[in-house]
Chain A
Amino acid sequence: GAVVSQHPSWVICKSGTSVKIECRSLDFQATTMFWYRQFPKQSLMLMATSNEGSKATYEQGVEKDKFLINHASLTLSTLTVTSAHPEDSSFYICSARDPAGGLEQYFGPGTRLTVT
């Protein structure tokens, strides 16, 4: 079945630094990947839609200069949190759509980011 991996699974960084999260589709080519964020006791919230070879589309309220998304290949999308602050601490999870698989989005296991 379709597998999506994320790396790292958890990361701790100091305030003001940047951190990069990778999302890979392991056994299919994903033309579209999505990035979600989840704060404690809240629902998964869509941050942006990433299409291979083009600029990401960000949801309202998500700072595109702070959350840089690159989808340079059909199997890899990256999310870089720039100048991270404690309020960016959250659970970040990506999903990928297999064009041959219809509507289904396959989710990675998520990345827990803690900014100190």
Chain B
Amino acid sequence: QKEVEQDPGPLSVPEGAIVSLNCTYSNSAFQYFMWYRQYSRKGPELLMYTYSSGNKEDGRFTAQVDKSSKYISLFIRDSQPSDSATYLCAMMRGGADGLTFGKGTHLIIQP
């Protein structure tokens, strides 16, 4: 079993829809949970991060962490074609550690 599982997609939704992306993980030592967005031929860019369990909202994006279920989610409201990208979940044990990534979900927002 991989440490972090993420469905690679592709996930195709119409513009304006609510998008739900998620990851599961197996290592209970993870404390920091991140979502990155990656466009083609670019490095990943941090969208948001959450420490431990709970919700965090930033504009159209909401991140949720459920440590009891080892499940994290990213919701995108009012999705736009410009949101089309690969979304990677990532996590780490401590603040100084490297990241453990999921495979990334390829998201397509249809105009």
Contacts and interface: CB of A to CB of B under 8 A. Distances in A.
A is bound by B: yes
Given A34-B98, A44-B88, A4 B43 contact: yes
A72 B101 CA distance: 27
Contacts of B88: 43-44
Q: What does DSSP make chain B's interface, helix, strand, loop or mixed?
A: loop
Contact of A49 (B45, B46, B98): B98
Query: What 4 A-B pairs come out closest when comparing CB atoms?
Result: A107-B43, A46-B98, A44-B101, A43-B101
A69 interface: no
Interface residues of B, number: 24
A34 B101 CA distance: 13
Interface of A: 4, 32, 34, 36, 41-46, 49, 59, 93, 95, 97, 102-110
A108 B43 contact: yes
A44 B49 CA distance: 18
B42 A109 contact: yes
Q: What does DSSP make chain A's interface, helix, strand, loop or mixed?
A: strand
5 contacts: A43-B101, A44-B99, A103-B49, A106-B43, A110-B43
B50 to A, nearest CB: 11
Interface string B42-54: 1111100100000
B41 interface: yes
Interface centre among B46, B98, B101 (most CB of A within 10 A): B98
A17 B2 CA distance: 33
B32 interface: yes
Contacts of A105: 46, 99
Given A43-B103, A46-B99, 8 more contacts: A32-B96, A41-B8, A43-B101, A43-B102, A46-B100, A104-B46, A107-B43, A110-B41
